[in-house]
Amino acid sequence: MIEAMPRHGQPPIGGLPSGKLTLSTEQKGARIMAQENSTRTTSNGGRVGGNPSPRSGDVLGGGSFKIGRAFGIDVRVHWTFLFLLVFFAGYGYVQGGNLTGAVLMTGLILALFAFVLLHEYGHSLVAQRLGTEILDITLLPIGGLARMKSLPERPADEVKIALAGPLVNVVLALALGAIAYLGFGSAPLQMVDIHAPGLTGGAVFAYLALLNAVLAVFNLVPAFPMDGGRVLRGLLAARMGAVRATEAAAAVGKAFAFLFFFYGLLSGNFVLVLVAVFIFFGAGGETQMVRQRETMRGLSVADVMGTRGRTETVTPYHTFGQVLDMVIHGYQEDFPVVDEEDRLVGMLTRREILAAAHSPERYATVRDLMRTEFPTVSPTADLFEEGQNLLLESGLRGIPVVEGGELLGVFTVEDIGQAGLARAAAGGARGKNRVHAG
């Protein structure tokens, strides 16, 4: 959770006492860079909720690259997946004693992850049909991850989305098993040694069918946030509400995580250990996000944002030195840029200021630094579904709040921390109204 930072009124740039402009621009730049370095070493780097955004996927998406797009969804691969291929190619070479063994093992891993990708598309296409936007699908060494822009509101929708993935693997298992049995006269499901001499096509199809059957069964284990855990959460939410259902499903998921972790250690299955870690932290992160969603439910950006009277603005003609002085002596990190007619024309963020601090002689005014493409948000926007998501996706710490072309204030990461206070205030006001009405 992000703590709410107190807001203190600051004088406008033009009203800064001259005594505060005693540092040279270079000295100010050095000072603000020192502040940034101190922040980086002491901050916990907290993010709002558990919504993977940014990209919530800073952890996942930051190390992934796009390999394609289908049905309006980007497919990405995490760079660590390449190490998985190299590892199993080497393992296949050692087991088979030749390059054929390496190629067979690599092909098997690629086939497995093709099934995982189809599994994730099962989730994604059903989610799209139910009105949920899918940001992307990322393939990781431990499996796949389809990122939804928001969680389904209706428990029944979550159950449908969760079951769609394993259902794809069931269909694939039946189809591949039928090919093995009807086309080759082989058993429909069987474990085989791909390096054994005389490997038949029927055995290969039967083995691929078995892989899909295992994927379906494993994903239906009620270890939230895996598919089975989401089914459990959806069924519980119909009776006890989203927060309590998530807490209960997360507790079950963490119990499975401990079992997977210790079994993985004892058996030497380190992929299962990684899966256990993912389940444990995923369960905790999503529980936090659902709690936050319920806290924010019904609140708008206007309920928590900093108003224009508490927001520092700059013009395109202010000097870089003046902006540095504001950052050093003030609380604000991102500044709306307005022209002579008080129209919003740009945004100046801490990122640009820090970049310019390395060579301040190149930047005379704000016009040289400001960004002219940036998101804005309406004061009536839903705090959780629109405001928070837009803020996280932008990568900024604050975005302008605009209505009818007029700048009303800035909505910041710190403002989201005020949701609990805003909720308490709204509840208190309703309580007083009920008392007076009685």
Catalytic residue positions, numbered: 120
Phi, psi (deg, nearest 5) at residue 191: -85, 135
Annotated binding site: 119, 123, 227
Question: What tokens does 252 get?
Answer: 């079950």
Question: What tokens does 85 get?
Answer: 């291929």
Q: Can you tell me the distance from the alpha carbon of 67 to that of 32, in angstroms, rounded to the nearest whole number?
A: 39
- Tell me if 379 sits within 8 A of 408, measured CB to CB: yes
Q: Can you tell me the distance from the alpha carbon of 12 to that of 67, in angstroms, rounded to the nearest whole number?
A: 49
Residue with tokens 């932290």: 281
Q: Can you tell me the distance from the alpha carbon of 161 to that of 123, in angstroms, rounded to the nearest whole number?
A: 5
Query: Strands 306-307 and 143-148: what pairing?
Result: unpaired
Annotated binding site for Zn(2+): 119, 123, 227
What one-character DSSP code corresponds to residue 6? Answer: P
- Tell me if 152 sits within 8 A of 245, measured CB to CB: no
Burial 144-174 (b: 16+ CB within 10 A, else e): bbbbbeebbeebebbbbbbbbbbbbbbebbe
Q: Can you tell me the distance from the alpha carbon of 33 to that of 54, in angstroms, rounded to the nearest whole number?
A: 25
Neighbouring C-beta atoms of residue 115, cutoff 10 Å: 20
- Tell me if 376 sits within 8 A of 390, measured CB to CB: no
190 CB-contact burial (10 Å; exposed 0-12 / middle 13-18 / buried 19+): middle
3-state secondary structure at position 54 = coil
Identify whether 379 is preceded by a cis peptide bond (ω within 30 of 0): no
Q: Is 409 left (phi over 0), alpha (psi -120 to 50) or beta?
A: left
What one-character DSSP code corresponds to residue 383? Answer: I
Q: Is 185 left (phi over 0), alpha (psi -120 to 50) or beta?
A: left
Q: Can you tell me the distance from the alpha carbon of 320 to that of 340, in angstroms, rounded to the nearest whole number?
A: 18
Closest by CA to 192, choosing from 179, 178, 180, is 180
Phi, psi (deg, nearest 5) at residue 55: -5, 135
Q: Which residues have CB under 8 Å from 428's CB, separation 6+?
A: none
Closest by CA to 316, choosing from 293, 343, 350, is 343
